[in-house]
A and B are shown apart, each in its own frame.
Chain A
């Protein structure tokens, strides 16, 4: 059964697409600046570019999650969204806050706190916006005919993601306390509650694409999100090693960070096992590529490259270097970027009735963006390891070391071009679907 109110998801997905492209533009500005070409410095200095790049990432992912929730919750709860008008109001307010924030970054209007640069007055609007979103989702869910584990895990993830935004809005005059709570938001998002959202979307897609029994998929969903919190909550400790917090975090953070890849490994093995068990031959193969892809790439990026530098004795040297950028790029892409693209690829043919999944462009999008991102990660790794060696081991000055590793940024830019071509194929395919229609949803039901 399909629900007409699912159409509202399209708006959020379209916003995701636009912001993703814009995020890439700012990525190039930073890549060129690192390679020695900062011609835009006067208009877009590096700190503006990085704040824009990171916040666009957060907003396009959140917009994707919201779209996913508006698409999935009606189906899972067997109930139309309680108010499409309010959902549209929530959409436009989200878009406006995002645009105003990005413009503000170009006029020195921000907070200097990585990932949470949105200035305080806009933070309050974000809170109102997210409350409205949660209200629509939760009321729809609890008035619905059924409450599936998948829907509950997804809703729980969204609820706690909203709650955890709040510690980032308190002012402290101690830099270390500030940082302590900033990680409550950033770490407990990406290595905690966002994984609930990811797990919920993944379970939904696996149920639809493989045809494996829901009970089995949802049982393992509990185990995986259980592992996530078991390792991820105390794993926050790896951000507390060297910023003014007590030494016991080295041991606690070290042990639980070492367990963090297990949750991602579990997710990858789970997705692959369900795929092999599945007997349903769903025609939307490319959605299955993205679904299995996200499970595997998140293990590589978030799991393996995470533990590559969260061991305390390694992190002493890599803390605050490009090694972090290496992990950050593949982790965000693998775990969250690909997940959002997976649900979009799955939902679009159902919403619009245009089955574009066999087009070569859909496959180019998958392969080019992934190969490009692996290339970018490798370039960051080479640059980061060289930086650590030259600066932290040999004692070269920051800028001398930066000059020595400049060449890796040309490799980065090359790989980023491949990635961008892939994303442009994806976005063009997205808009070729056209607008969602009631007829398409009915035909699918």
Chain B
């Protein structure tokens, strides 16, 4: 029968082993995986500014991006492909809450430059290789 010492060894040994594997995979992901998949060479100053605005205003508190965030407002990964730049810019610069689709969005009233930065951020996000996400709706009637 398993003794307490063996149980402790299983816990400590297993934890250390799997943590080391995790660290090794993480190093690979960070050094080559993510930079290649996300085309990190395309992160311009505008993209960085856009990401900062995205964070500062907690856009993820309603929307999802890369499938992460809250589930109250549309997924933004492919928003430029889906809606086009003009539409997105109109939403971002609106001085009154955007309500076209039924739910209210906070009226951020971004400046022209801020809106362009956010659009640059969305465009960069939209070109990532996300292993097939978002999926194509396979039951859609053409």
Assuming A246-B29, A246-B37, A392-B137, is B61 touching A48 (CB within 8 A)?
yes
Asked if residues B60 and A219 are in contact (CB atoms below 8 Å), the reply is no
Assuming A175-B66, A392-B135, is B30 touching A180 (CB within 8 A)?
yes
Contacts of B30 in A (CB 8 A): 177, 180
Asked if residues A242 and B132 are in contact (CB atoms below 8 Å), the reply is yes
Contacts of B135 in A (CB 8 A): 316-317, 392
Q: Which of B119-133 contact A (CB under 8 A)?
A: 121, 125, 128-133
Q: How many interface residues does A have (CB within 8 Å)?
A: 71
Binds A, one of B4-12, B87-95, B110-118: B4-12
Smallest CB separation, B51 vs chain A (Å):
6
Tell me which of A48, A244, A391 contacts B37 (CB under 8 A).
Answer: A244
The listed residue with most A CB atoms (<10 A of its CB), out of B30, B68, B125, B130, is B68
Interface size class of B (residues with CB under 8 A): 35 or more
Assuming A47-B70, A399-B101, is B132 touching A316 (CB within 8 A)?
yes
Q: Which of A4-56 contact B (CB under 8 A)?
A: 30, 33-34, 36, 38, 41, 45-48, 50-51
Smallest CB separation, B39 vs chain A (Å):
10
Smallest CB separation, A28 vs chain B (Å):
15
Q: Which of A109-143 contact B (CB under 8 A)?
A: 110-114, 117
Confirm or deny: A445 has a beta carbon within 8 angstroms of a beta carbon on chain B: no
Binary contact readout A173-210 vs B (1 if CB under 8 angstroms, 0 otherwise):
11111011000000000000000000000000000000
Smallest CB separation, A421 vs chain B (Å):
26
Assuming A180-B34, A222-B4, is B25 touching A47 (CB within 8 A)?
no
Confirm or deny: A419 has a beta carbon within 8 angstroms of a beta carbon on chain B: no
Confirm or deny: A223 has a beta carbon within 8 angstroms of a beta carbon on chain B: yes
Asked if residues B11 and A222 are in contact (CB atoms below 8 Å), the reply is yes
Smallest CB separation, B67 vs chain A (Å):
3
Binary contact readout A227-247 vs B (1 if CB under 8 angstroms, 0 otherwise):
001100110100011111111
Asked if residues A110 and B58 are in contact (CB atoms below 8 Å), the reply is yes
Closest chain A residue to B125, Cβ basis: A175
Interface of A, helix, strand, loop or mixed by DSSP: helix
Asked if residues B128 and A236 are in contact (CB atoms below 8 Å), the reply is no
Confirm or deny: A320 has a beta carbon within 8 angstroms of a beta carbon on chain B: yes
Tell me which of A113, A223, A319 contacts B67 (CB under 8 A).
Answer: A319
Q: Which of A252-288 contact B (CB under 8 A)?
A: 252
Smallest CB separation, A249 vs chain B (Å):
8
C-alpha spacing A263/B62, complex, angstroms: 33
The listed residue with most B CB atoms (<10 A of its CB), out of A243, A250, A394, is A243
Assuming A316-B133, A394-B140, A399-B102, is B15 touching A112 (CB within 8 A)?
no
C-alpha spacing A110/B134, complex, angstroms: 28
C-alpha spacing A113/B57, complex, angstroms: 10
Confirm or deny: B80 has a beta carbon within 8 angstroms of a beta carbon on chain A: no
Smallest CB separation, B42 vs chain A (Å):
10
Asked if residues B18 and A229 are in contact (CB atoms below 8 Å), the reply is yes
Contacts of B51 in A (CB 8 A): 173, 175
Asked if residues B101 and A393 are in contact (CB atoms below 8 Å), the reply is no
C-alpha spacing A243/B68, complex, angstroms: 8
C-alpha spacing A223/B2, complex, angstroms: 10
Asked if residues A245 and B34 are in contact (CB atoms below 8 Å), the reply is yes
Confirm or deny: A360 has a beta carbon within 8 angstroms of a beta carbon on chain B: no
Q: Which of A145-183 contact B (CB under 8 A)?
A: 149, 173-177, 179-180
Instruction: Jot down 19 A-B pairs with beta carbons below 8 A, ordered by A.
Output: A47-B106, A113-B60, A114-B60, A174-B34, A174-B35, A175-B51, A175-B125, A176-B38, A222-B7, A229-B14, A234-B18, A234-B25, A242-B67, A244-B34, A244-B37, A244-B128, A245-B34, A320-B71, A402-B102
User: What residues of chain B have their CB less than 8 Å away from a CB belonging to chain A?
Assistant: 2-4, 7-8, 10-11, 14-15, 18-19, 21-22, 25-26, 28-30, 33-35, 37-38, 40, 43, 47-48, 51, 54-62, 64-75, 97, 101-104, 106, 121, 125, 128-135, 137-140
A-B contact sample (14 more), CB < 8 A, given A174-B34, A324-B71 = A41-B106, A48-B58, A111-B55, A112-B55, A174-B40, A179-B68, A226-B11, A243-B68, A246-B28, A319-B67, A320-B67, A392-B135, A395-B139, A398-B74
